[in-house]
Amino acid sequence: MHQLEPHFLWRHLYKAKNDPNSPFYRTEHSQFEYTNRIYNYAIHPQWDSFGSETLLLKVLFVDYEEKYAIIELIGEWNDCINNDVMMLKREVIDEMLDCGIEKFILLGENVLNFHGSDDSYYQEWWEDTPGGWVAFLHLRDHVINEMMQLGVDRYISIPEDDEATWSWKTHKPEHLFQVVDKMMMRFLEESDSI
Q: Are 27 and 58 in contact (CB under 8 A)?
A: no
**Between the CA of residue 174 and those of 3, 66, 157, what are the distances in Å?**
27, 9, 19
Whether the predicted pLDDT of 12 surpasses 90: yes
Amino acid 55: pLDDT: 95
CB 17 within 8 A of CB 28: yes
pLDDT > 60? residue 194: no
Tell me: the pLDDT tens digits for 135-183? 999 999 999 999 999 999 888 888 766 666 777 888 899 999 999 999 8
CATH assignment at residue 186: 3.30.750.24
Assess if residue 10 is contained within a domain. Answer: no
Q: How many CA atoms lie within 13 A of 112 on its CB side?
A: 10
Q: What is the pLDDT of residue 39?
A: 82
Q: For 102-125, what is the mean pLDDT?
A: 94
- Write the DSSP symbol of residue 74: E
Residues 72-81 pLDDT 10s = 999 999 999 8
pLDDT over 90 (residue 122)? yes
Three-state SS for 37? strand
Domain count, the chain: 1
Return d(Cα 85, Cα 153) in angstroms, integer.
14
Note whether residue 3 is domain-resident: no
Q: Is residue 9 a part of any domain in this protein? A: no
| Predicted TM-score of the model (pTM) | 0.93
- 36 vs 115, higher pLDDT: 115
**Range of the structural domain that residue 162 is part of:** 16-193
Q: Is position 99 within any domain?
A: yes
Instruction: Give the residue among 67, 65, 83 at the shortest CA–CA distance from 119.
Output: 83
Q: Are strands 103-115 and 68-78 parallel, antiparallel or unpaired?
A: parallel
For residue 91, being part of any structural domain is answered with yes
| pLDDT in the model for residue 71 | 98
CA distance 71 to 58: 6
Residue 108 lies in a domain: yes
Q: Is 130 exposed, middle or buried (0-12, 13-18, 19+ CB in 10 A)?
A: exposed
| Cα–Cα dist 88/73, whole Å | 11
Q: Is residue 166 part of a domain?
A: yes
> What angle is formed at CA 81 by the lines to CA 121 and CA 45, rounded to 5 degrees?
90
Q: Is residue 71 part of a domain?
A: yes
pLDDT in tens, 22-71: 999 999 887 777 778 888 888 888 999 999 999 999 999 999 999 999 99
Question: Stretch 110-125: mean pLDDT, rounded?
Answer: 93
The answer to whether residue 1 scores a pLDDT higher than 70 is no
* Dihedrals phi, psi of 74, to nearest 5 degrees: -145, 140
**Is residue 82 predicted with pLDDT exceeding 90?**
no
